[in-house]
Amino acid sequence: MKTKEGLWKLSPSGLYGFEECRTCFWLEHHHTRAPGLPFVLNMAMDSVLKSRYDAYREKEELPPEIQSLGNEGITLFRDIETLNKWRGSTMHLRVVNEKVGYEIGGKLDEVLIEKNGRLIPTDFKSSGYAPKEDKQKYYVSQLTAYAFMFQKHELNPSDRAILLHYFLKDPRNPSLQVEFISHIDPVRLDLPGFENKLEDIVGLLNGPYPGDNLACEKCLYYAGRNEKSNPDNR
């Protein structure tokens, strides 16, 4: 969708769609997105993790599951007031580019700091199972967007981000005392190439409908439905 100023409204978590299917990405930005179900359990888990990290922040320690990061001098971002702003609203780190024609804003889960002071965007990913394949491709644009927003707000971002996966230790354990284990997944960021990518994205959105993408299951699904509802079109 466009803002009332006529800028394309982009969100960090929506950027993967540009790689996945440009047709679906175009449609989702030209029309109101279909309502989705909220991931209530993931949201609850995010909230638990934020409280957990805040408790350790107060003690100036790292949670034990990311202690290995402490060995290279990484600490939690100290300023809880600023972090809560970044967690609570997309407006604080929003980047507006009227020349190219977009605005992008997003919320962060957590921020880690390198020994040299650079900020590492950090995102919690909770799931029932251990991440099976390389999940980075789904999240690299989202995480690069956070680093880009830091840079545009005169904060010094790292060239990496971190995904913190939390998943069930044993999905077959019937106890209600559910136990989670975690996995640290560092992601390399290509920050210098990111502005070009945003320009490509705006170029696509300013252009005409890119046509059905026969390699995309969602496109095929909608194409099939249209054929059914308009039998004369065959």
Binding residues (CB under 5 A) for Zn ion: these are: 21, 23-24, 213, 216, 218-219
Q: Which is nearer to Zn ion, 189 or 219 (CB)?
A: 219
Query: Starting at the edge strand that comes first in sequence, how are the strands of the sheet with 180-188 ordered?
Result: 75-76, 110-113, 119-127, 160-168, 180-188
Nearer to Zn ion by Cβ, of 24 and 66: the residue is 24
User: Measured between alpha carbons, how far is 118 from 73 in angstroms, rounded to an integer?
Assistant: 11
Q: Provide the minimum distance between the beta carbon of 223 and Zn ion in the complex, in angstroms, as a whole number.
A: 9
The two structure tokens encoding residue 166: 């939390």
Nearer to Zn ion among residue 56 and residue 138 (C-beta): 138
Q: How far is the CB of 230 from Zn ion (least distance, A)?
A: 19
β partners of residue 163: 123, 185
Rounded CA-CA distance 225/136 in Å is: 33
What is the smallest separation between the CB atom of 218 and Zn ion, expressed in angstroms?
4
To Zn ion, the closest distance from the beta carbon of 22 in angstroms equals 8
In sign, the C-alpha dihedral spanning 37, 41, 44, 46 is negative
Cβ-based nearer residue to Zn ion, 181 or 220? 220
Contact indicator for 135, 125 with CB cutoff of 8 Å: yes
